[in-house]
Structure formats: C-alpha cells, structure tokens
Amino acid sequence: MAKEYICIVCPKGCHIMVDGDDISGYSCPRGLNYIKQELVDPRRTLTSTMYVEGGNIRVCPVKSSDTLPKDSVFDVVKLIDKTVAVAPIKIGDVLIPNVLNLGVDIVATKNIDKI
Ligand code: SF4
C-alpha cells in the first residue's frame, strides 16, 4: 500500500509517494535522499530554547549539532527543558554534550552576556 510523505528539505514541500520500491513525487535528488533516509532511519535537527542563569536574557536558543533520531526528539526536548545554562554563553558553546549518548551535542545559537 502506498504511503505519502512530505519532503521537509526545502519550503516547496513535495508530496512523495512510496509504494514498495517505487518512489515518486520528489522534484530533486535531495528529496530522494531525504525519503531514502526517512524510510530506514528518520532523523531531525532540533531547535529549542534553554533557561539561563545569570544572563542578560533568561533563555538561550539552542540546536542540535547534527540530526537526531526522530524518536529521541521528545526525550531530548524534555532534558533541555530541565537544564539551566549559566551565562556568559557564546554561540557554539556546548550546553549538553553527547545528549542521551546519541553522539550529538546541544549547542547555543546566541551570545548571552553575564549580568
Ligand atoms: S523534493 Fe526537492 S524540491 Fe521537493 S521539497 Fe524536497 S528538496 Fe524541495
């Protein structure tokens, strides 16, 4: 039975149909690569925010340094929500190394000065 996916690689959002080995509906090779990865090991880049102690602002935007297994994202978000970073923070600082032993770091994407 065919299954439909929406490609999330670019804003065009192509609807990709997968029916056994038959893959259709993608508009470029990146979409085909995306769906092949999605079928065997779906992964996502995570962006979120983390509370900050002693900074000039109270939350720091963060992201995963690489893609994470899709089924781990909820647990990673819960861990980020429970974690408090301490200012000063520089873009690229690793705030959670090797999150949940997944081989991916959670890093800051904003500079935050100490108050
Ligand atoms: S298949 Fe290509 S053009 Fe279509 S959404 Fe994916 S990346 Fe964009």
Does 27 sit in the ligand 1 pocket, CB within 6 Å?
yes
Structure confidence at residue 95 (pLDDT): 98
Write down all domains in the chain, each with its CATH number in brackets. 3-40 (no CATH), 47-108 (3.10.530.10)
Structure confidence at residue 1 (pLDDT): 83
Q: Residue 26 belongs to what H/E stretch? A: none
Residue among 23, 24, 26, 32 to mutate when testing ligand 1 (max atoms within 8 A of CB):
26
Tell me the whole-structure pTM to 2 decimals.
0.86
Dihedral Cα 26, 32, 35, 41, nearest 10 deg: -170
Ligand 1 centroid distance, CA of 98 (Å): 30
pLDDT, averaged per 10 consecutive residues of the chain (115 residues), comes to 94 97 96 96 96 97 97 98 98 98 98 96
